[in-house]
């Protein structure tokens, strides 16, 4: 078992009328002028953006707005937000949307308080910031878990490079979660979101550390619950009970709870970042396309963990005489689950064509930072391992 610190300071306000508290909460955490950051037109069409702005106005809070965040949020928009905040004297950022909006808000929050290019932070070429603008979220798309996590991911359009940065300072001050705001999510986005949150737990679950049984039990409970809930909401999008399970599950999956006492991996995420950076695909779908190949490549590093996953999460009968066979059946059951909810299981299914050798080499180069970095912990992946997994995932 690993020693660990567990830190989850975000105040969660969960329920059908939760957004009514937004102005009070901003004032509670010291905000006086707010950047309301959001994505596309869905926030406007739903009426949520107007409602949030009305609530701020009625409570005397000044604000400016910046929309336009897209999936795989762009560095260029974050830089625009940094300049806007500086010019307007913004002291608090409210993200209204999903993980992409929250990640963009975190990047802006860092950049406003830096004396150098914020991209250097994501490149690992800047000192850890000592301060940033406080962030909060009104969550509309449960998936990334950014509303309670320390992580953010940004895509630099110059070279299509997608990188993450983590710092506890960026954990949102509060997160407002109203499951009703997720009723209109398209089925594909719902399924991709659940895939992402399950993968956040699986990145922590597949480890060489087998001694923290309670953490493992919690992880399996989250995975089983999400696996059940997604089918219910795909059948009935307005199932409040199951939408609530998913919304809370996304936060639990990425606030650190399911990784206490173990060394997490994150190789699948890092491999996928190059897919979404190059092809601008939905992150959760990209994870589904990569994970089965990663799993087959590394499963012998802790075969018993893959057997446990197969039996306890994917309901595969345990063939005690053939643990490898049980593990493989667990991976195959995961592939069937992905297909059942409309997710791909390889790159061909993800992008609609066969990926080229040149594209694989380019993703390998970027993932390995020009062949200077490894990724993963269950099995430390060198550049040649990354390339082998991309080729396995070709489809």
Whether residue 177 is found in the same domain as residue 319: no
Pick the last residue of a domain from 134, 162, 181.
181
Whether residue 163 is found in the same domain as residue 286: no
In a domain, 163, yes or no: yes
pTM of the model: 0.94
Q: What is the pLDDT of residue 137?
A: 98
Whether residue 224 is found in the same domain as residue 84: no
Q: What is the pLDDT of residue 383?
A: 98
Whether residue 237 is found in the same domain as residue 275: yes
Q: What is the pLDDT of residue 40?
A: 80
Cβ burial of 51 (10 Å; 0-12, 13-18, 19+) is middle
Pick the last residue of a domain from 181, 200, 220.
181
Reading the block at residue 246, the tokens are 């998913």
Whether residue 177 is found in the same domain as residue 190: no
Mean pLDDT by 10 residues, the chain (395 residues): 92 96 98 96 85 97 96 96 98 96 98 96 94 97 95 90 94 97 95 97 95 96 98 98 98 96 96 94 97 98 98 98 98 98 98 97 96 97 98 97
In a domain, 342, yes or no: yes
Whether residue 253 is found in the same domain as residue 358: yes
In a domain, 82, yes or no: yes
Whether residue 37 is found in the same domain as residue 157: yes
Whether residue 319 is found in the same domain as residue 335: yes
In a domain, 316, yes or no: yes
In a domain, 6, yes or no: no
Q: What is the pLDDT of residue 45?
A: 81
- The CATH number assigned to the domain holding 349 equals 1.20.1090.10
In a domain, 2, yes or no: no
In a domain, 119, yes or no: yes
Pick the last residue of a domain from 146, 181, 216.
181
With b for 16 or more beta-carbon neighbours within 10 A and e for fewer, the 3-14 pattern comes to eeeeeeebebbe
Cβ burial of 194 (10 Å; 0-12, 13-18, 19+) is buried
**Helices (DSSP H) in the chain: which residue ranges?**
22-28, 42-45, 48-58, 75-88, 99-112, 119-123, 187-205, 213-235, 240-254, 267-279, 283-298, 303-312, 323-340, 347-351, 357-367, 383-392
Number of domains in the chain: 2
Whether residue 177 is found in the same domain as residue 218: no
Q: What is the pLDDT of residue 158?
A: 86
- pLDDT single digits (tens) 357-384: 999 999 999 999 999 999 999 999 999 9
Whether residue 332 is found in the same domain as residue 350: yes
Range of the domain at 73: 11-181
Reading the block at residue 210, the tokens are 């087998």
In a domain, 3, yes or no: no
Whether residue 43 is found in the same domain as residue 150: yes
Whether residue 243 is found in the same domain as residue 172: no
């Amino acid at each position: 078992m690993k020693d660990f610190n567990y830190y989850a300071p975000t105040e969660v306000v969960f329920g059908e009328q939760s957004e009514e508290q937004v102005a009070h909460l901003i004032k509670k955490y010291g905000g006086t002028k707010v950047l309301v950051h959001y994505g596309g037109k869905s926030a406007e069409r739903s009426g949520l953006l107007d409602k949030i702005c009305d609530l701020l106005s009625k409570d005397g809070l000044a604000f400016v707005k910046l929309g336009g965040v897209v999936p795989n949020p762009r560095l260029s928009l974050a830089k625009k937000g940094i300049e806007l905040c500086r010019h307007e004297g913004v002291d608090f950022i409210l993200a209204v949307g999903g993980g992409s909006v929250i990640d963009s808000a975190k990047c802006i929050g860092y950049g406003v308080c830096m004396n150098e290019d914020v991209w250097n932070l994501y490149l690992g070429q800047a000192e850890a910031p000592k301060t940033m603008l406080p962030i909060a979220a009104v969550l509309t798309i449960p998936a990334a878990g950014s509303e309670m996590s320390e992580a953010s991911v940004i895509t630099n359009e110059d070279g299509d490079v997608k990188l993450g940065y983590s710092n506890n300072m960026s954990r949102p001050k509060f997160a407002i979660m109203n499951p009703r705001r997720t009723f209109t999510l398209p089925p594909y986005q719902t399924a991709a979101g659940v895939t992402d949150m399950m993968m956040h737990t699986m990145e922590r679950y597949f480890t060489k550390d087998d001694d923290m049984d309670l953490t493992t039990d919690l992880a399996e409970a989250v995975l089983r619950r999400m696996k059940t809930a997604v089918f219910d909401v795909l059948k009935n999008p307005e199932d409040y009970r199951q939408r609530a399970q998913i919304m809370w599950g996304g936060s639990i999956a990425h606030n650190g709870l399911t990784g206490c006492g173990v060394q997490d991996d994150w190789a699948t995420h890092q491999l996928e970042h190059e897919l979404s950076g190059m092809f601008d695909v939905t992150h959760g779908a990209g994870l589904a396309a990569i994970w089965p190949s990663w799993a087959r490549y590394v499963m012998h590093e802790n075969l018993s963990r893959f057997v446990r996953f197969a039996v306890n999460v994917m309901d595969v009968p345990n063939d005690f005489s053939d643990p490898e066979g049980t593990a493989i059946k667990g991976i195959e059951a995961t592939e069937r689950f992905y297909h059942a909810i409309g997710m791909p299981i390889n790159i061909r299914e993800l992008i609609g064509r066969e990926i080229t050798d040149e594209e694989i080499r380019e993703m390998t180069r970027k993932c390995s930072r020009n062949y200077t970095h490894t990724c993963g912990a269950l099995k430390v992946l060198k550049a040649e391992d990354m390339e082998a997994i991309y080729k396995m995932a070709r489809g």
